Amino acid sequence: MAQVEATTERIVAADPETVFDTLADYKDGRPKLLPEHFSEYQVREGGDGEGTLVHWKLQATSKRVRDCLLEVAEPTDGQLVEKDRNSSMVTTWTVTPAGEGRSKVVVSTVWNGAGGIGGFFERTFAPKGLGRIYDAMLAKLAEEVEK
């Protein structure tokens, strides 16, 4: 099993605190950012950053749906880490300053991929597909915080 990684980033015209607070608000902020690939979204515990437990289904392709139950941690300032209880998937959101009133948002997901030919296709295509999903989320994030 090889580790698979998908990373996407975007510069957003809003201060890092506003951007981070929107991402960490799983109750009201995060649902506004989710593209059509997400369904059955539900905050089960908490709702604001550290200690949140959130559920969703992620439809990565027409045939591939992941049932995710994520524990949220804030290991350092400007960073959210979502660990899936149902798999090896870990997503890290990092928000840093990028000049006056601007932020750089990097989202990176890693997981243990399948072996064999299936693993080859997963390592080849999954990062691109997940990257497109995150690009859509980051576009919605920019739209939300740049108002």
Q: What is the DSSP letter of 43?
A: E
- pLDDT (tens digit, 9 = 90+) per residue, 99-132? 999 999 999 999 877 677 666 666 666 767 788 9
Instruction: For 38, list phi and psi in degrees, rounded to 5.
Output: -105, 140
Tokens of 4: 């698979």
Contact 95, 107 (CB under 8 A): no
Check residue 53 and give its pLDDT: 98
Instruction: For 87, list phi and psi in degrees, rounded to 5.
Output: -160, -170
- Contacts (Cβ under 8 Å, ≥6 apart) of 116: none
Instruction: For 98, list phi and psi in degrees, rounded to 5.
Output: -140, 45
Tokens of 41: 């979204």
Look up the pTM and report it: 0.90
- pLDDT (tens digit, 9 = 90+) per residue, 87-99? 999 999 999 999 9
- pLDDT (tens digit, 9 = 90+) per residue, 40-52? 999 999 999 999 9
